[in-house]
Structure 1
Amino acid sequence: MRPALWTIVAAAAASISLALGMRQTFGLFLLPLSAEAGISPAVLGTAVAIHNLVWGLSQPISGAIADRHGAGRVMAGGALLLAAGVGLPALWTSAPAILIGIGLLTGIGVSCCGTGAALAAVGRAVPPARRGEMIGLASAGGSLGQAAMVPLAQSLIGGVGAIATLGILALTLLVIVPISRGIEWGAPEQVPGRAATGLAGLPALARQALADRDFALLTAGFFACGFQLAFLTMHLPSHIALCGLPTGLGAMALMTIGLFNIPGSWLCGKVSNHLQPELALGAIYALRTVAIACYAFTTPTYAGTLVFAAVMGFVWLGTIPLTSAAIARRFGVADLGALYGVCFLSHQVGGFLGAAAGAVLLETAGSYEAFWPVMVAVGIAASVMNWIVRPPRVAMA
């Protein structure tokens, strides 16, 4: 028997909250791990870059498995990998442990219990008229996790140290295992005449989708989302500290992003019920780019940083329900997890480059000054790509 709709939405929101909330804390460990264990910022920065790339490569696979066999078991398995990846550096604090744990294991884990499988399950359970709104509500769960876990991690790092904090976060992530029972534990109900492709048919499905000009443009635009957000998640706290502002402001900025994204994600999802999602995505990328340009090319202040965080937060995860809605309109929901994963791979390639380039720049130049113009250029390109996407000839239910 399928769980009730609100049980599915709540389970998806809780899993996303813990998974994405955890990964939003990575930037807080950049300098403390260096001081406490002698781990170079470049090592953690590289690990986070690998995490983003592995997440992207794993997302189509985990999505295809969830489409065919149900999201719940995929999420439970991902939670175990996620906890192991965060806990490994706590037990064996070294560069290899960070690269394997944070880089490889958490990348696979988040692909299983983050947005992909969970939101696809919500999309299948919700009537088309409310699909965007409910996906937006579930994705706002990631913001709740960020708002709660960032200050918690910051407090723990100051109290018990960075290494012990990693262990505590690893144990916390195991809560996802029982949560996953509340969402698609068995094979999902299939659309009549349209069974999920599954893992075996994933390569052909990806080729067919990417041959669609408009899906390809949507996918290319998603690169900018990952590029911008991975850089800010990983490097904004360090940038703030290098500008001479209080170190606690970095955690407060990330928490502000999370708080403002709670209404933002829901609103973006609701908008997709009434407007072509790609048009709204183009507007989001444009707003982000203007905010980044204003913040980067003026002298950072305490108040200005929080305003920047609030603006970015309002549209931080808003791309996720809009992108999911755009894919569902074009291809239906039977393969939503797999197709979202194909699109999301572009997002994570951008995240890999954003996190890695920022780490290299910090190591070599000692500042992020040269990176901000690239952030602006990438955002402008993403806006244009989404604005020239054509709506599907026939919207799928």
Structure 2
Amino acid sequence: MSQTPAARPAAATSLPLIIFCGCAIACLTFGPRATAGLLLTPISETNGWGRDVFALSFAIQNLLWGVGQPFAGGFADRYGARPVLIVGGLLYAAGLALMPLSSAPGAMHLSAGVLIGFALSGASFSIVIGAFGKLLPAEWRTLGFGFGTAAGSFGQFLFTPLASTLVGAYGWQTTVLIFAGLMLLVLPLSIPLATRPVADASVTVRDQTIGEALREAFATPSYWLLVIGFFTCGFHLAFITAHLPPFLIDQGISPQVGGWALALIGLFNIAGSLSSGVLSGRMPKRHILAAIYFARAILIAGFIALPVTPTTALIFGAGIGLLWLSTIPPTSGLVATMFGTRYMTMLYGVVFLSHQIGSFMGVWLGGELYEAYGNYDLIWKIAIALSIMSALVNLPIRERAVERPATA
């Protein structure tokens, strides 16, 4: 059996550049997809559709993002993050550019759903976090995960008011074309992430194949608990992103308030993600995840129990923002803790697939149940129940490295 080489970490002077470019990519690629709730109404009105049509496109996007993530992660683990990011950035630009031409539901499902979904699997914070896991030394790792996640949140904060302004001034078609041009910036920003990956030198073990890494993960009960719990995170994120603005419009609140609520989610998640990244290096990660899910259940229950006003909508946006992507640093940290960083991008991608199945269900069920009952009451209650389930599922996770045969 061969021995894994102890490659040198990235030079200290290059660490800020790696983090900056990775965060810029996370910001750019997460931003446009966070505006789906603002685009749902104008796209539906332009094409004479119900809310379920574009909601299905967004649901397909989320599902295929998850389906493609393990494959994109495996490719990045083997060949480096940069080629994956380049292909993802080009697909993203193409999907956005084709949306104004998609006047039939099938065409919108292809552009906004299939193309952007697969694009996100190759050019999103998941690939960035995997690259950080390899390129950053251990003492920077969980903080880097927090920065990468917070950057995605900043993209949401930046793009939602930008989209609201552009849609009001120029229409949704011009807005998505501008976003398509911005996605091409991913190509030059990916250059520093091409730095040669470093081996995880904390333990010397025999080399693993991709198949062996997957079999090891699937034989680990704690990994399955992590996969199951992450479903709820995706369900919440996609449902709220796509359906909160229309929900507020139904309550007689202006679309601008919905845009600012989404922006506050992104702004406050910067603090939530960074705090989660710091705490993940100091506290049991499973406890952090359980606390986040319990807090979501309480917050959602309070929001729908009180009268919905612009004030409560903005407070809800700020509160859910603190809990939004703060699940990612402890989740990715648990994957690295249990299995190391050699195949971290792929193994995190499998966990993320569960997240995106939840995203598909959240967006799709939101549209279907709205069309069936004329309101969002039932889907909010489902969101609360799933929060409690995930909080309980994360508590038994065993937070330690798997045992492997060591080389002599």
Same fold (TM over 0.5): yes
**Given residue 117 of structure 1, which amino acid in structure 2 is its aligned partner?**
I
CA distance in 2, matches of 1:40, 1:231: 16
- Corresponding position of 2:385: 377
**Given residue 307 of structure 1, which amino acid in structure 2 is its aligned partner?**
I
- Corresponding position of 1:190: 199
Q: Establish whether residue 60 from structure 1 lines up as the match of residue 70 from structure 2.
A: yes
% identity of equivalent residues: 36
CA distance in 2, matches of 1:378, 1:92: 34
- Corresponding position of 2:94: 84
**Given residue 62 of structure 2, which amino acid in structure 1 is its aligned partner?**
N
Higher-Rg structure is: 2
Q: 2:344 aligns with which of 317, 336, 339?
A: 336
- Corresponding position of 2:288: 280
Contact 1:39–1:94, Cα closer than 8 Å, also in 2: no
- Corresponding position of 2:149: 139
Range with bigger deviation, 92-101 or 298-307: 92-101
- Corresponding position of 1:107: 117
- Corresponding position of 1:48: 58
Q: 1:62 to 1:219 in 2, by over 3 A?
A: same
CA distance in 2, matches of 1:211, 1:21: 36
Cα deviation digits, residues 198-250 of structure 1 (max 9, x gap): xxx54553343122111110110000000111100010000000011122111
Runs of at least 5 residues in structure 2 that lack an aligned partner in the other structure? 1-8
Q: Establish whether residue 224 from structure 1 lines up as the match of residue 232 from structure 2.
A: yes
CA distance in 1, matches of 2:314, 2:205: 47
Q: Establish whether residue 297 from structure 1 lines up as the match of residue 305 from structure 2.
A: yes
Q: Give the TM-score, by structure 2 length.
A: 0.92
Runs of at least 5 residues in structure 1 that lack an aligned partner in the other structure? none
Q: CA deviation at 1:195?
A: 8.4
Cα deviation digits, residues 359-395 of structure 1 (max 9, x gap): 1122222210111111110000000011121221679
Contact 2:44–2:54, Cα closer than 8 Å, also in 1: no
Q: Establish whether residue 264 from structure 1 lines up as the match of residue 264 from structure 2.
A: no
CA distance in 2, matches of 1:93, 1:136: 39
Q: CA deviation at 1:38?
A: 2.1
> Paired residues, what number?
392
Q: 1:292 to 1:195 in 2, by over 3 A?
A: farther
CA distance in 1, matches of 2:16, 2:205: 25
CA distance in 2, matches of 1:203, 1:307: 46
Contact 1:49–1:353, Cα closer than 8 Å, also in 2: yes
Contact 2:135–2:197, Cα closer than 8 Å, also in 1: no
Q: CA deviation at 1:279?
A: 1.0
Contact 2:70–2:353, Cα closer than 8 Å, also in 1: yes
**Given residue 188 of structure 1, which amino acid in structure 2 is its aligned partner?**
P
- Corresponding position of 1:152: 162
Q: Say what the alpha-carbon RMSD is for the aligned residues.
A: 1.9
Q: CA deviation at 1:10?
A: 0.9
Q: 1:248 to 1:77 in 2, by over 3 A?
A: same
Cα deviation digits, residues 93-126 of structure 1 (max 9, x gap): 3322210011111111111111221111111122
